[in-house]
């Protein structure tokens, strides 16, 4: 179990933390370069790649044609040649165009060729939400990649981990699917100025508690922490765990917490069927077998494509209040019909379109 | 502008102007309303590009089929899509074209042959080809039009779709709306040469260039192409030069981003097709159209405002068909 | 729980059953057509599409260019226009080229357009195995599709279900991923001559038993039944369940059996991480919660890409003996070190390449 | 056949014939052994197509890079790949090029610039482009060659790869091995016209047609193209006409399948490059080469036989790099 340092320090946003990670690695390693649709455009991928082409040259941060399939292959080819490309996708949904290269080539090359090549690529995949992104601009498909041996998948939530994980991903000698969430970009937190890597395979316990373990993924960590605050007010003490890295997955931290609380609620920022939440449940119960019957629940996207209209979109996602209500039921017994009062998440309330 | 058009010029021009002006005015209203947050839907404005949809669709039958992009308003309206259902859709209301589930990026009106649009660039190209294949298998003489941007031609699926349509000689009209930008990226950063017609010709299909988004030229060219396609001539390819006036997505200007120049944009505004076609009408005719459109647009907005949001249980509907 | 009729009748192979299903539907419904690489070639997709172009015309069973992405879109477009296309893929691995169209378009269209369109396509996906198919010709990625609302996924195992499920898939008004396994093609079984649909969402109990529930997917059903025979000889009575349809999934049959036996072993013909096996475990334990601690285990592909060399390939897959051994341990207590004697599966022994 | 070649013709011809004959003989041996089941690996024979790899690779430096397909034997050997490690790989043995994990479809020899091949058609095209990008970024003058079939050009990724290579002026030589079939499907069922060079030219790259798999013409053309590419000239495109003699995959003939005619195949066999180049040598020289190759091939097969299978624990190795 790793804890986030709480000592005061410089606070920056998640987006700036990502920028800092890339810039610092580009500074020390000439094999690192960034490319993808819009990375060097006036908006610089929400600021995360803003002036890299100015600082490091136009051939180290460049725009591409709309050719996600081939551009993924270009990243793989460059990686085999010894470079460390970072391929950026404005929406996770676009990775569906890259599946062949990522799953058939990137994930397989090291093994098929018995280690003769390595494929150190980072695939930055931004999950969209809000303002009617709709069915094709809001997907979070990390479980598809967790399914495939040869890939790594990380989904940092705090600015601290955003920087540290991106540095770790760039230095990793394997293909890393780097999962970001647009609604995390504005979140601020303490981020050391110096370079550091957050190792994969270590979960973080962001809040301790004895009554229930809540494991949350990506933006749902923020909502789970809010849910935990609601729960504190009614005397329920939730432990909130952020796996940070999904593959490899630190199941031990989750198992230990579940052993303590006897209750495990997993809130994924994705669909649940064959999702990260299913895998976590399976590993936990395989561990305990009949020695301990843990109460388990999963929450995630409603099992439907994402609708655009706001009232339905609100129902599509778990939120602090529905997470709290579910946890409350798990602790107090089913159907307590308790739902805390509270505003919608501020990052969602404050988000203005168009995109 | 262009040479003479069909029989009753006046009627035709009134139709064209109505269609053009209607799209223009709706979008101007969307731009006005957007900051109020009532429209929570990423909207890619057709403003400046209306003529591409209007010129092509005017030459089509109601039973002909249109596939378009997330920049969908012009095609939807030009093909006869219901205006009220469009505004309600942008408002996320239950009377919307898709009960609020679609938003601006996924407009649809099956009753007029306007197929649902996709927000994944290039993805409608093969759907259009498949639709045409189906119609041909059933012996219909439907023409299928697919609008796509200059960015979409970079996707591999463009190549695959062109090849297959040509191989099977399917009645698909590929209409490349060349506004020379993909978001903020100019063509020069994406292709070694902007010779799209040359490449299309290698698929053995006739190609045409339409300059300045010329509505009448496009109408004539489409009529001729549609006739050839109905007779089994196989797919054709149009490249239409045009320009969007606003930012890639949303209601704002974007000259401050400096990826294109004011001079470039002004040159396009000077040859605004809505104005040019309007100028071919006398003041009375033009004024009447403008008043009628204004009424229709305001009624549509009022309709959208008044429409209820979909009920909660609708979240779970429409995932599967029985 | 549905049982397979055991009354004697005509026996045909799995491959012939598939052929019969398509041919009979093409006969009665002019909107059905078949296309895909090699469907009308001299080998006719291992006989499953052999002479459809002769019987029904060249425009109803046709070869295509190597353009899986666009051909998937062509199927979707034709389906929207009212046809019922069957798109055939010689290897499941090639579907990675189709993910964008299948997940972003096919799965979403009905919902995005509030039911204005339907997409009745069937995507036949053949899993490869044996003779060194290797990392790129042996994948089984059904869980990726189970993750996505709007798609259905079926994986019939018997010739009877192959015919009935394919007929059901063709008649279904939704996109269906139809999972076949090359090693099942030669298996023979009783198949009625008349047309019949096997409804989705109904599991089959292929063998009854009180000691342990074995749920197996696709070709692993065959191995699980062999494992069950091994187990019978040592007095362990396994119940063997074939889900047949993975999405929708008949969890009730699995829950009832697990309640009876207290032990659940899931053997997927795929990787386990975020796989069908994880989803089944999660649904079962969510059902029982603390009322019953079921012993659960998962088996599947080793968590590596598939190697080509035979000795390692043998270790990559679960087989009748390793399944029996695992089940035995679950019933008798860990580490019994019992491994039944027995030959390799005959369909694998007998399979000769090149492909 | 072709005009004169480089300085020491005799040496060159001996090298070429050695390379051609070596590939031919290895494959003949694979065909012989296949029915014994010792090689459990889907093998796509290069037999008949050897000259494409040999002509191109002879013009390359050891540090130049080759990407090829599952039909990999010719490219692997022509680029200097280790023969023993190849045969051991086909046998699934621990001394194989990838310790038995790869098989025939995924040969690799990084030490000679032979990149690992893929069994998913078309997928190596963008990898070659990416490799060339990397080399250029580091200021190297490496040339990257990518061999691909006529079927591969139908995949969207071909279009995307050509476009990007041309846009960035990368030193990639695209070599289309046009054997006119994809498995059993002739070109006519897959493309509206077999005008591949015309299409390649629209990406603004020089193109060349090499008839009859002509080894010497290919060598000359590659030398010239490689020089232009090293000087920054950007990608080039070759279409090489050739023919495989055996079935698509495996050791057998396939005339009984009736997708191609005996006359067609015989015409190709009559212009067999292995024979033609061999005929340019005197009997003594040819005989010596044949004896040396024979020895090497038999030694390699003995090596493969003798090599052990990989140990069980290797199943879990090489999934990730530290
Ligand atoms: C496959 C895919 N890649 C990237 C995007 C992000 N994106 C949305 S619109 C767009 C530009 C498309 O340009 P173009 O085709 O020229 O159409 P235009 O917007 O100019 O009408 C991009 C890159 C996307 N939606 N889909
Ligand atoms: C993406 C993909 N689709 C289909 C296949 C099945 N397949 C293997 S080889 C082949 C034909 C390829 O033909 P071509 O590119 O001309 O190469 P050739 O075999 O003639 O050398 C096909 C369809 C595959 N391996 N990968
Ligand atoms: Mg554009
Ligand atoms: Mg070929």
Q: C33: which strand partners? A: C85
pLDDT category at C4 given cuts 50, 70, 90 is low
D128: nearest CA partner in chain A: A77
| Lookup result for tokens 């993805």 | B123
Centroid of ligand 3 to alpha carbon of B260 (angstroms): 13
Judging contacts by C-beta atoms under 8 Å, the chain C residues touching residue A286 are 281, 296-298
**What's the mean pLDDT in C4-17?**
83
pLDDT mean over C326-339: 94
Query: What are the pLDDT digits (tens) for D287-298?
Result: 999 999 999 999
Span D51-88, pLDDT tens digits:
999 999 999 999 999 999 999 999 999 999 999 999 99
Mutate which of B50, B75, B120, B121 for ligand 1? The one with the most ligand atoms within 8 Å of its CB, which is B121
Ligand 1 atom with the smallest distance to the CA of B71 is: 21
Q: Give me ligand 1 centre to Cα B152, in Å.
A: 7
Q: Is the pLDDT of residue A98 over 50?
A: yes
Ligand index nearest the alpha carbon of residue D123? 2
Do strands C204-207 and C245-247 pair parallel, antiparallel, or not at all (unpaired)?
A: unpaired
Q: Show the low-confidence residues of chain B (pLDDT under 50).
A: 1-7
Instruction: Give the residue on D whose Cα is nearest the Cα of A30.
Output: D138
String of DSSP letters for B121-165: TTTHHHHHHHHHHHHHHTT----EEEEEETTGGGSHHHHHHHHHH
Q: What is the pLDDT of residues D117-133, one digit of tens each?
A: 999 999 999 999 999 99
Q: Is C133 in the pocket of ligand 2 (CB under 6 A)?
A: no
Strands D181-182 and D185-186 turn out to be antiparallel
pLDDT confidence band for C334 (50 / 70 / 90):
confident
Which residues touch A334 (CB under 8 Å, ≥6 apart)?
none
Contacts with C289 from chain A: Cβ below 8 Å: 293, 295-296
Question: Using omega within 30 degrees of 0 as the cis cutoff, is the peptide bond preceding A4 cis?
Answer: no
Tell whether ligand 2 has an atom less than 6 A from the beta carbon of residue C37. Answer: yes
| Mean of per-residue pLDDT scores for chain A | 96
pLDDT at A354: 74
Nearest CA to ligand 2 atom 18: D149
Chain A hits for C277, Cβ within 8 Å: 282
Question: CB-based contacts of D218: which residues, under 8 Å, 6+ apart?
Answer: D51, D52, D55, D56, D59, D210, D238, D240
Contact: D164, A59; criterion CB under 8 Å: no
Give the one of D156, D195, D204 whose C-beta lies nearest to B159's C-beta.
D156
Chain C interface disruption, residue of B130, B137, B174, B309, most C CBs within 10 A: B130
**C132 in contact with chain A, both atoms CB, cutoff 8 A:** no
Report the pLDDT value the prediction gives residue D8, as an integer from 0 to 100. 66
Residue nearest to atom 20 of ligand 1 (CA): B182
For C58-93, the DSSP string reads: TTSEE---S-HHHHHHHHHHHHHTT-EEEEEESSGG
Residues of C in contact with D100 (CB under 8 A): 307-309, 311-312
Tell me which residues of chain D have a C-beta less than 8 Å from any C-beta of chain A: 97-99, 101-102, 106, 108, 110, 115-116, 118, 120, 123, 125-135, 137, 156-157, 160-161, 163-164, 167, 317-322
Q: Are C300 and C267 in contact (CB under 8 A)?
A: yes
Pocket test for ligand 2, best of D121, D189, D194, D254 (most atoms within 8 A of CB): D121
Choose, out of D122, D126, D150, D159, the residue to mutate when testing the contact with B (most B CBs < 10 Å).
D159
Neighbours of D257 (CB within 10 A): 14
With cut-offs at 50, 70 and 90, classify the pLDDT of residue A158. Answer: very high
Sheet holding C238-242, edge to edge: C204-207, C238-242, C212-216, C263-267, C295-299
Chain A CB contacts of B119 below 8 Å: 134, 136-137
Q: Cα(B140) to centroid of ligand 4, in Å? A: 35
Reported confidence tier of residue C316, pLDDT bands at 50, 70, 90: very high
How many Å is the Cα radius of gyration of chain C? 20
Distances (CA, A) of B226 to B143, B221, B236, D47, D288: 6, 8, 9, 49, 68
Nearest-neighbour CA in chain B from D153: distance (Å): 10
Active site residue C350: no
List, in order, residues 6 or more apart from A173 with CB less than 8 Å away. A118, A120, D320, D321, D322
Q: Could you list the active site residues of A?
A: 68, 137
Gap between the Cα atoms of C10 and C244, Å rounded: 22
pLDDT over threshold 70, residue D2: no
Please, which pLDDT band fits residue A4 given cuts at 50, 70 and 90? low
Q: Which residue has the higher pLDDT, B176 or C3?
A: B176
Counting DSSP H helices and E strands in chain A, the numbers are 13, 14
- Given an 8 Å threshold on Cβ–Cβ distance, is D92 in contact with C352? no
User: What would the two tokens of residue C265 be?
Assistant: 């072993």
Residue to mutate among C278, C288, C298, C329, with most A CBs inside 10 A, is C278
Which of A66, A68, A92 to probe ligand 1 with, by most ligand atoms within 8 A of CB? A66
Q: Are D319 and A59 an interchain contact pair (Cβ–Cβ within 8 Å)?
A: no
The pocket of ion ligand 3, defined by CB under 5 A, consists of B 149-150, 179, 181
Across the interface, whether the CB atoms of D321 and A72 are under 8 A apart is answered no
Q: Check pLDDT > 50 for residue D3.
A: no
Instruction: Kindly report the nearest CA distance between residue A105 and chain C, in angstroms.
Output: 8
Would you state the pLDDT for residue B8?
A: 66
DSSP H or E segment with residue C189? strand C188-190
What pLDDT, in 10s, does the model give residues C230-284?
Answer: 999 999 999 999 999 999 999 999 999 999 999 999 999 999 999 999 999 999 9
- State yes or no: pLDDT of A11 exceeds 90: yes
Q: How far is A8 from A12, CA to CA, in rounded Å?
A: 12
**Complete domains list, chain B, with CATH:** 10-307 (3.40.50.970)
State pLDDT tens for residues C97-126. Answer: 999 999 999 999 999 999 999 999 999 999
Which residues of chain A from 48 to 67 reach within 8 Å of chain C, CB to CB? none
What domains sit in chain C, N to C, each tagged with a CATH number? 11-190 (3.40.50.970), 204-332 (3.40.50.920)
| CA distance between the termini of chain B | 52
Q: Which of B66, B107, B97 lies closest to B222 in space, CA to CA?
A: B66
Tell me what pLDDT residue A3 has: 47
Cis, bond preceding D183 (omega within 30 deg of 0): no
Residue D231 Cβ contacting ligand 2 at under 6 Å: no
Which of B97, B102, B319, B322 to mutate to test binding with chain C, by most C CBs within 10 Å of its CB? B319
Report the residue of chain D nearest A67, measured CA to CA. Answer: D160
Tokens of B31: 């731009």
Nearest Cα of chain D lies from the Cα of B208 at a distance, in angstroms, of 17
| Residue of chain A with shortest Cα separation from B117 | A136
DSSP element (H, E) containing C354: none
pLDDT value of position C354: 74
Q: Is the pLDDT of residue A353 over 80?
A: no
Is the shortest distance between the CB of D191 and ligand 2 below 6 Å? no
- Three-state secondary structure string covering B159-224: HHHHHHHHHCCCCEEEEEEECCEECCEEHHHCCCCCCHHHHHHHCCCCEEEEHHHCHHHHHHHHHH
CB contact under 8 A, D127 and A82: no
């Amino acid at each position: 179990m790793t804890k986030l340092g709480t000592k005061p320090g410089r606070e920056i946003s998640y987006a700036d933390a990502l920028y800092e990670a890339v810039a610092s690695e580009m500074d020390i390693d000439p094999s690192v370069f960034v490319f993808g649709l819009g990375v060097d455009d006036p908006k610089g991928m929400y600021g995360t790649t803003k002036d890299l082409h100015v600082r490091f040259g136009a051939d180290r941060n460049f725009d591409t044609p709309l050719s996600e399939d081939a551009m993924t292959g270009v990243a793989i080819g460059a990686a085999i040649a010894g470079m460390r490309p970072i391929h950026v996708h404005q929406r996770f949904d676009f990775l569906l165009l890259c599946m062949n290269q990522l799953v058939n080539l990137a994930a397989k090359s090291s093994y098929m060729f018995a280690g003769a090549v390595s494929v150190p690529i980072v695939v930055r995949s931004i999950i969209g939400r809000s303002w009617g992104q709709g069915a094709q601009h809001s997907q979070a498909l990390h479980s598809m990649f967790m399914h495939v041996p040869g890939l790594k998948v990380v989904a940092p939530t705090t600015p601290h981990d955003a920087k540290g994980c991106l540095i770790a991903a760039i230095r990793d000698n394997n293909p890393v699917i780097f999962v970001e969430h647009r609604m995390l970009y504005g979140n601020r937190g303490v981020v050391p100025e110096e370079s550091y890597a957050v190792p994969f395979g270590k979960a973080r316990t962001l809040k301790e508690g004895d009554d229930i373990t809540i494991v949350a993924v990506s933006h749902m960590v923020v909502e789970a922490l809010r849910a935990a605050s609601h729960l504190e007010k009614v005397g329920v003490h939730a432990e909130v765990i952020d796996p940070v890295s999904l593959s490899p997955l630190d199941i031990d931290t989750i198992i230990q917490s579940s052993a303590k609380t006897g209750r495990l609620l997993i809130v994924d920022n994705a669909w649940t069927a064959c999702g990260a939440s299913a895998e976590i449940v399976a590993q936990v119960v395989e561990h305990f077998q009949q020695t301990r019957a843990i109460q388990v629940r999963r929450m995630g996207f409603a099992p439907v494509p994402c609708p655009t209209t706001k009232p339905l979109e609100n129902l599509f996602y778990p939120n602090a209040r529905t997470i709290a209500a579910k946890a409350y039921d798990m602790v107090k017994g089913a159907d307590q019909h308790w739902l805390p009062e509270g505003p919608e998440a501020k990052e969602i309330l404050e988000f203005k379109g168009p995109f | 502008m262009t040479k003479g058009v069909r029989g009753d010029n006046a009627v035709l021009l009134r139709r064209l102007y109505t269609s053009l002006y209607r799209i223009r005015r709706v979008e101007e209203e969307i731009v006005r309303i957007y900051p109020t947050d009532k429209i929570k839907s990423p909207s890619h404005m057709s403003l400046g590009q209306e003529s591409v949809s209007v010129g092509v669709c005017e030459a089509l039958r109601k039973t002909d089929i249109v596939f378009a992009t997330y920049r969908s308003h012009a095609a939807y309206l030009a093909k006869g899509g219901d205006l009220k259902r469009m505004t309600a859709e942008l408002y996320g209301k239950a009377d919307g074209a898709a009960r609020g589930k679609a938003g601006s990026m996924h407009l649809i009106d099956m009753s007029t042959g306007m197929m649902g649009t996709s927000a994944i660039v290039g993805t409608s190209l093969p759907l259009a080809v498949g639709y045409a294949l189906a119609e041909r298998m059933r012996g219909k003489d439907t023409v299928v039009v697919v609008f796509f941007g200059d960015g979409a031609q970079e996707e591999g699926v463009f190549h695959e779709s062109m090849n297959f349509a040509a191989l099977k000689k399917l009645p698909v009209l590929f209409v490349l709306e060349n506004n020379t930008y993909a978001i903020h990226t100019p063509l020069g950063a994406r292709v070694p040469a902007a010779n799209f017609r040359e490449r299309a010709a290698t698929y053995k299909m006739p190609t045409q260039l339409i300059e300045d988004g010329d509505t009448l030229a496009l109408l004539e060219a489409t009529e001729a192409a549609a006739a050839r396609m109905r007779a089994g001539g196989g797919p054709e390819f149009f490249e239409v030069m045009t320009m969007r006036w606003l930012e890639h997505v949303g209601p704002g200007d974007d000259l401050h981003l400096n990826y294109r120049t004011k001079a470039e944009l002004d040159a396009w505004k000077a040859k605004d097709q809505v104005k040019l076609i309007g100028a071919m009408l006398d003041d009375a005719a033009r004024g009447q159209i403008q008043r009628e459109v204004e009424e229709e647009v305001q009624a549509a907005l009022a309709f959208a405002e008044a429409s209820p949001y979909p009920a909660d249980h609708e979240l779970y509907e429409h995932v599967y068909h029985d």
